[in-house]
Amino acid sequence: MSQKANLPGDTPRYPIREVSRLTGVNSVTLRAWERRYGLLRPHRTPKGHRLYAREDIERVEAILQWLNRGVPVSQVRELLDKPELTARPGPETDDWAHQREQLMAAIEALDSPRLDALFNQVLALYPARVCIERLWQPVVEALEESADEHQGMALQRRVLEAFLRTRIGTRLYHANPQAGPRQVLVTSLPDADSPLWGLLIALLASEQGHRVHLLDAPLPPRGMNLAAERLGIDLIVMTSGKAEKSDLIKHQLPRLAEQLDAPLALCGPVARIRANDIDNRHVISLGDQLAEAIGRLEALLVDRPPTADAPR
């Protein structure tokens, strides 16, 4: 099927993969919005393929605006159909607090089936960016704080890490072959004692259509150079929930960045904690708010030509 099809009246129509690319909402979520909530009504070809008009794309953007305000997806249709209504996100409309409570309860109980159900449900109904901003990042931050204060929570954090490593790794495995030409390497800094920040930014980068290589363990500078060259990396993102050593941030990373052909960026609490120590001439800070970090990541890649001869 072509990227854009013309139907009677010469009205431009877009296949679902193109709508997904334009809006950042994956195809599974677009279908769920249509089937479960009637939020979209795409045209169907005789073979059943969905085709969307420009008005549908504008409607997806309007849906995202309401979701970003904390309105549950189940309440968005009424707001779209009755523009005179004004949503006031609060206890009566913002169900993210309830979802965070459910997620924390599943983690504390080590309830893997419940974790799996919550993970699949929320990513089917919401874009990854909204899920991470409203649900996963607040829960990770609360869990890391609890783990620092209560050793008993360390087990729960490790179980969550193993769960997300498997689920996000599976998503990357299936998404990478269909991803765009730009490739992102995500890895941890040496003192990072948790891969959670790397896992979440990897999920976001994949959702944006990039091919993501996720490494659990940090690489020495020489290994980083080799990985970037062999994999055809366009951007390296290093993550940590810790402050990391001063010499690493001030001296070692800038030296490494000078040797690399791809930009080097920091993401996670380390970017906030060490904000005054980061050499902005060589190392780019994406910050510790992941929904904003992915926007900065996109800006780094938008004008950068894909690396030649990258493995596919």
Q: Are residues 286 and 221 in the same domain?
A: yes
Q: Are residues 48 and 14 in the same domain?
A: yes
Q: Is residue 171 part of a domain?
A: no
Q: Which two three-digit tokens encode residue 146?
A: 């609890």
Q: Which two three-digit tokens encode residue 164?
A: 């997300």
Tell me which residue range forms the domain holding 39. Answer: 5-81
Q: Are residues 20 and 62 in the same domain?
A: yes
Q: Is residue 192 part of a domain?
A: yes
Q: Is residue 173 part of a domain?
A: no
CB neighbours of 135 closer than 8 A, spacing ≥ 6? Answer: 96, 99, 100, 103, 122
Compute the mean pLDDT over every residue in the chain, rounded to the nearest whole number. Answer: 87
Q: Are residues 111 and 224 in the same domain?
A: no
**Phi, psi dihedral angles at 29 (to 5 degrees):** -70, -40
Q: Are residues 254 and 228 in the same domain?
A: yes
What DSSP string describes 92-158?
A: TT--HHHHHHHHHHHHHTT-HHHHHHHHHHHHHHS-HHHHIIIIIHHHHHHHHHHHHH-GGGHHHHH
Q: Looking at the 3D structure of the chain, how many domains does it have?
A: 3
Domain C-terminal end among 48, 81, 114: 81
CB neighbours of 18 closer than 8 A, spacing ≥ 6? Answer: 3, 4
**Per-residue pLDDT tens for 214-260?**
998 888 878 888 999 999 999 999 999 999 999 999 999 999 999 99
Which CATH number goes with the domain that contains 220? 3.40.50.280
CA 163 – CA 145 distance, rounded (Å)? 19
Q: What would the mean pLDDT of 52-64 be, rounded to a whole number?
A: 93
Q: Is residue 271 part of a domain?
A: yes
CA 168 – CA 188 distance, rounded (Å)? 16
Q: Are residues 159 and 251 in the same domain?
A: no
CB neighbours of 194 closer than 8 A, spacing ≥ 6? Answer: 144, 157, 161, 241
Q: Is residue 91 part of a domain?
A: no
Q: Which of 199, 187, 49 minimizes the C-alpha distance to 128? A: 199
The 8-class DSSP code of residue 212 comes to E
CB neighbours of 95 closer than 8 A, spacing ≥ 6? Answer: 72
CA dihedral 285, 291, 296, 298 (to 10 degrees): 140
Contact status, residue 227 vs residue 219, Cβ threshold 8 Å: yes
Domain C-terminal end among 27, 53, 81: 81
pLDDT (0 to 100) of residue 251: 94
Q: Are residues 228 and 271 in the same domain?
A: yes
Which CATH number goes with the domain that contains 142? 1.10.1240
Q: Are residues 266 and 193 in the same domain?
A: yes
Q: Which two three-digit tokens encode residue 282?
A: 């060589």
Torsion region of 11: left, alpha or beta (phi above 0 gives left; psi -120 to 50 gives alpha): beta
Q: What would the mean pLDDT of 94-112 be, rounded to a whole number?
A: 89
Domain C-terminal end among 54, 81, 108: 81
pLDDT of 89 higher than 60: no
Which CATH number goes with the domain that contains 43? 1.10.1660.10
User: Comparing 53-57, 226-230, 307-311, which segment has the lowest mean pLDDT?
Assistant: 307-311
The pTM score is 0.83
Q: What would the mean pLDDT of 23-32 be, rounded to a whole number?
A: 90
Higher pLDDT, 149 or 32: 32
Q: Are residues 11 and 77 in the same domain?
A: yes
Q: Which of 122, 124, 265, 137 minimizes the C-alpha distance to 196? A: 137
**Phi, psi dihedral angles at 272 (to 5 degrees):** -80, -45
Q: Is residue 88 part of a domain?
A: no
Q: Is residue 26 part of a domain?
A: yes
Q: Are residues 73 and 184 in the same domain?
A: no
Q: Is residue 311 part of a domain?
A: no
Higher pLDDT, 184 or 75: 184
Q: Are residues 280 and 235 in the same domain?
A: yes
Q: Which amino acid is at 25?
A: V
Write down the residue that tokens 């960016």 correspond to: 129
Q: Are residues 259 and 189 in the same domain?
A: yes
pLDDT of 87 higher than 70: no
